[in-house]
Amino acid sequence: MNEVVVWYDGACPLCRREIGLMRRLDRRGALTFVDVAEPGAAEACPLNPAELLSRFHVREDGQILSGAAAFAAMWRAIPLLRPFGLMARNRHVLAVLEALYVRFLKVRPRLQRLFA
């Protein structure tokens, strides 16, 4: 299994909670987490920081994925969540997950305030 690099917004309380859960579930160390909000971290990222912060991004097998596809790649790296990640390889399942993710992005600012 290849390493999956996860870029996240460490300044976002909601993101920190999600990444905290993923760290606990990643017992094999298959995920590398990069906090884009850390000074200097953005320079090492393949995309501009604004783009990285606007959607969730990962690199799996050298390919950069965003949104629902990025979550699915992260799930595939964690044995407990792997079945969900594999289901998301189906384009119809991924399309539904992406539509849900886009809706989530619209309410994300309000959720961030709740978790602050």
Q: State which of 2-6, 11-15, 31-35, 40-44 shows the largest mean pLDDT.
A: 31-35
The per-residue pLDDT for range 50-101, each reduced to its tens digit, is: 888 889 999 999 999 999 999 999 999 999 999 999 999 999 999 999 999 9
**pLDDT value at position 47?**
85
**pLDDT value at position 52?**
81
Q: Return d(Cα 88, Cα 95) in angstroms, integer.
A: 9
**pLDDT value at position 40?**
78
Q: Is the pLDDT of residue 43 over 80?
A: no
Q: Return d(Cα 28, Cα 31) in angstroms, integer.
A: 8
Burial code (b: 16+ CB inside 10 Å, e: under 16) for 59-73 equals bbeeebbbbbbbbbb
- The Cα-based distances of 102 to 20, 59, 74, 83, 115 in angstroms read 22, 20, 18, 22, 20
**pLDDT value at position 42?**
66
Q: Return d(Cα 87, Cα 91) in angstroms, integer.
A: 9
Two tokens, residue 77: 């790296």
| Range 108-113 average pLDDT | 78
The per-residue pLDDT for range 14-38, each reduced to its tens digit, is: 889 999 999 999 999 999 999 988 8
